[in-house]
Each structure stands twice: as structure tokens, then as C-alpha cells.
Copies of this chain bind each other. A is one copy, B any other.
Amino acid sequence: MSGVTIKILAERLQLSTATISKALCDSHEISESTKKRVLDLARELDYVPNAYAGSLRRNKSKTIAVVIPEVADSFFSLALNGIEEAALEKGYHSLIYLTHEKLEREKTILKELTNGRVDGVIMSVTVETNCFDHIREFNRKLPIVFFDRVCDELDTAKVTTNDFECGYQATKHLIDAGCRKIVLLSISDNLSIISERGRGFKKAITDEGLDENDCRIIGCTEDATQNYHLLKNLMQGPDRPDGIIATVEKLTTEIYLVCQQQQISIPEALKVICFSNQPTAVILSPGLTTITQPAFEMGKKAATILLRSLKNNGLILREESVVIPSELIVRGSTQTCFNSNK
């Protein structure tokens, strides 16, 4: 909260607090010119209007916002279910805002949310989020809990999974299955989760003594067609990998499609592992080996931390952060070749 009160506005404008209050309520007793002076100063000082401020103090909006990049990824749709389960239990509504992976929309949404519509925010940042001033600014007024894609510089709680270990484990799993030229497909240089998975990947490559020139991190985009062509070129090129780690679920379709079309057999010629919660992993042919994140639990935990803080004083400590481990689920797409019928 900004700390600006009706009293401060009254002092600055040399008016009574009653006049300020009426002006803010758009009372007919106050002249238009006075109303304008009051509103202009209120805006300038970032005054949170009375009704909202009261509602905030008493946690009466009973609403939290969930700000996430998209819902097409099954991680986020499952996490939403966890968030809403926890919110419902405490009698809270949750509003969902989608940033569509755009930093500008993230900024607009957070700005819009300072108006008191919600009591706090649960968020996962966009692939474009490379500065955090807008989040820090927002966090001065309202509490935030991050989940999955976090902003480590902010002094608040984060609910994450063990991305570094999972990057390591996925890479080690491919090496154990015989891969020597492994590619990790990234979607952003900014995201905490992707850089952690990348660090785990590199560490496993070094630990296992593989040639670092044969193992690369390649950046994909938000565009399925672009990713398809990138993968097509990769699989036709001289440095064709024998193992792929996809850091996001949606790359699965393009990987399988390129292999189908180029008649590259999975897992014989290429082993594939994907960070994914998609239910169809099990019916793909071959079944897709996944690092499956505790999406529901992560959402539920983030909401629980936020709601507990709202019940108290709105203060959230960095120490409340939680790491919930993911699970490697081995299926046909990474089977070793002497036993590869599914």
C-alpha cells in the first residue's frame, strides 16, 4: 500500500478531510474544480481510493490474481486447478490473467491490479521478462508469490521444482541409454527454470566426460512452424543429435512430426525426453519419456502461502520458499536399442 491517506491529501490541498472524502466519492456537494484538484493529487501521489484501501486492509476483496503466460501448456492448467482448490477452501476467488508471453502485457496487468481489485498475486513470468522493476514496484503495494518461473531478485516466497537436478537427471538418463550427441531445446534465455535445466545439462555432460562440442543448447521460439523448420534442419544436418531434451511440452509435436517425416526411428536413431505433464505422453508411439512436474501441488502450495499471509499481515518471507521435486517417467522414447519395441 502506498501509505498516502486522505489526511495527507487534505493537508497538501489545504482542505478538510470531509471535503477530500466527498470529492473522492464524487459527491454533488463538491465543485467540479475541487474534485479535479483532489483527483489530480490523488493520482500523482498514487493514492489508493478509500473503498479499495478499506477492502485491502480488511482483505475484503477476497480475490487473488493468477498471472501466467498461457493455458495451452498442461503444466499451467494443472497448476491453476491446485491454486483454485486452495483458494476455494479459504473462500477466495481467483482471477486468471494471461500475459501470452509478452512482457508489455505483464506490465499492463500488474499496473491494472494495483487498483485494489485483488488482495495478492500468484505469478509465473513471461519468456521476455528480463527486468523486474515493474514487479518490484507492484510488490511494494501488494504481496506476490512466484511459482515455477520465478524472479529470484525479489524478496518473497517462490514455489519451484528441482530444475537443476532434473536437467542433470534427464541428461544422465540419455547418456546411460547410449546417447553421445545431446541437444537441449530451450525457449528463453531469461527464464529461471530454463537456465537451471541448462546448468544441470552442462554439469552432467562434464561429469560423464562427453565432448562438449557435441552437446549443445539450441533456442526455439513461440512459433510452431519456425520450430518445425529448425528441427528439420537440425535432423538433416551434419551434427544430427542422437538425443533431445525438450524443456517445454509443446515441442513434442514438432519433434515427433519431423522424425515421422524423415523416417528417423525413435528411440533407435533418436532418443527423446520432454519436460511435460501432457496426458497423451503415454499413447504416443513410442510413449514419451517425461520429466513430470508436480504442477497441481506447486499451484496449491503457492496459493496456500499467499492466503496464509493475507490472513496475517500480508508479509511473505523468502524463507517460506518451497522446492517440490519432479519425477522422471521412463517410456519407450528413451529405451536402449536392444529392447526397443515401445
Chain A residues with CB under 8 Å of chain B are 18, 21-22, 25-29, 50-51, 54, 70-72, 74, 76-78, 80-81, 84, 93, 95-98, 100, 109, 112, 117, 224, 250, 252-253, 256-257, 260, 278-280, 282-285
Contact A253 B279 (CB under 8 A): yes
Contact B96 A98 (CB under 8 A): yes
Contact of A93 among B27, B70, B112, B279 (CB under 8 A): B112
Find out whether the CB atom of B224 lies under 8 angstroms from the CB atom of A250: no
Once A95-B95, A97-B95, A280-B284 are accepted as A-B contacts, the answer to whether A80 and B71 lie under 8 Å apart by CB is yes
Q: Offer 19 A-B interface pairs, CB within 8 angstroms, sorted by A.
A: A18-B27, A18-B29, A25-B50, A25-B51, A26-B50, A26-B51, A51-B51, A72-B78, A77-B77, A80-B98, A95-B95, A96-B98, A117-B117, A250-B279, A253-B280, A257-B282, A257-B283, A280-B280, A283-B284
Are A284 and B282 also in contact (CB < 8 A) when A71-B80, A97-B95, A100-B81 are?
A: no
A51 to B112, CA, bound (A): 17
| A331 CB to nearest chain B CB (Å) | 12
Min Cβ gap A91→B in Å is 10
Point out the residues of chain B lying under 8 angstroms from A98, CB to CB.
80, 84, 96
> For residue A112, which residues in chain B have a CB less than 8 angstroms away from its CB?
93
Given contacts A26-B54, A77-B72, A93-B112, contact A283 B100 (CB under 8 A): no
For residue A137, give the distance in angstroms from its CB to the closest CB of chain B.
19
Question: B71 to A84, Cβ gap below 8 A?
Answer: no
A53 shortest CB reach to chain B, Å: 11
Q: Pick the contact of A252 from B81, B260, B283 — CB < 8 Å?
A: B283
Closest to A112 in B: B93
Q: How far is the CA of A256 from the CA of B281 in the complex (A)?
A: 11
Determine the chain B residues whose CB is within 8 A of the CB of A70 once the complex forms. Answer: 77
A285 to B332, CA, bound (A): 14
A293 to B136, CA, bound (A): 41
Residue of B nearest to A95 (CB): B95
Docked pose: A96 CA to B224 CA in angstroms: 25
Tell me whether B224 and A253 are in contact (CB under 8 A): no
Closest CB-CB distance, A4 to chain B, in whole Å?
18
